[in-house]
Amino acid sequence: MIESTIFYVFGGLLLAAAVGVITSRNPVHSVLFLVLAFVTSAFLWMLLEAEFLAIVLVLVYVGAVMVLFLFVVMMLDVKVEQVRAGFTRYAPLGIGVVLLIVAQLGYVVWVRTQDMGFLSAPGRAPANYSNTEELGRLLYTDYVYPFELAAVILLVAIVAAISLTMRRRPGLKVQNVAKQVRVRREDRVRLVRMDAEKGE
């Protein structure tokens, strides 16, 4: 009973945070809503006895990836008015894509739940069961190529985020370290010889 209550509470929080991500007008608020969604997802992983996945979700996504996202969002200086200018033009296409994704997810859930109880809780794992060992075995045997591909995509995303923040912007003051190192005294200081003046 208590597990069902915790599930519905954190499931509701997760849905509310997901809605907040896409409806928030401020990009920073959207990132913070996404952090809340990750934290509540970690609690749901804990209910499924997947402690390793829950800790990795908090440490990696909330502690590293979301900090990177927040840094990029704050450094990009996104013009919200310009982004929303073409919203009505692309709204029908976006709605069509959303309906297609919802239909696909609904079909997958319907097919997967035909042979099992839809709301039945999974059975308890035995005492000697290690989900970390099982996850490592699957990642490095059956899914090693998708795992490596995901790592490469994440690396490309990090490089792209850094390159976006380092782009040229008008009025941006930057340091030229090579020019500062090559500076000489003769370029900065000019000694002027003049005759001494005598007081009257």
Q: Judge whether 179 lies within some domain.
A: no
In a domain, 36, yes or no: yes
Give domain status of residue 177, yes or no: no
- Is 37 in the same domain as 19? yes
User: How much is the pLDDT for 80?
Assistant: 62
What DSSP state is assigned to residue 180? H
Are both 46 and 72 inside the same structural domain? yes
Per-residue confidence (pLDDT) for residue 82, from 0 to 100: 66
Residue 40: which domain range? Answer: 1-82
What does the pLDDT read at residue 96?
92
Closest by alpha carbon to 68, among 193, 157, 200, 181? 157
Residue 31 shares a structural domain with residue 48: yes
Closest Cα partner for 62 from 47, 45, 78, 42? 42
114 with 47, same domain: the answer is no
Cα torsion angle, 71, 75, 80, 83, sign: negative
Looking at the fold, whether 2 and 77 belong to one and the same domain comes out as: yes
Residues 94 and 60 grouped into a single domain: no
pLDDT per position as a tens digit, 24-48: 877 788 888 988 999 999 999 888 8
Whether 52 and 110 share a structural domain: no
77 and 53 belong to one structural domain: yes
Q: Output the pLDDT for position 101.
A: 93
Contact (Cβ atoms closer than 8 angstroms) between residue 25 and residue 80 = yes
Specify if 47 maps to a domain: yes
Work out the widest C-alpha separation in the chain, in whole angstroms. Answer: 112
Low-confidence residues in the chain, pLDDT < 50? none
Which SS3 state, helix, strand or coil, does residue 178 take? helix
CA distance 197 to 200: 9
In a domain, 192, yes or no: no
Which of these, 76, 66, 78, 61, lies nearest to 26 by C-alpha position?
A: 78
Q: Based on the fold, state whether residues 106 and 31 are members of the same structural domain.
A: no
- Regarding whether 22 and 67 lie in a shared domain, the answer is yes
Residue 121 confidence (pLDDT)? 62
Query: What pLDDT score does 118 carry?
Result: 52
In contact, 37 and 14? CB cutoff 8 Å? yes
Q: Looking at the 3D structure of the chain, how many domains does it have?
A: 3
Residues 71 and 21 in one domain: yes
Tell me, yes or no, whether 6 and 63 share the same domain: yes
pLDDT given at position 7: 87
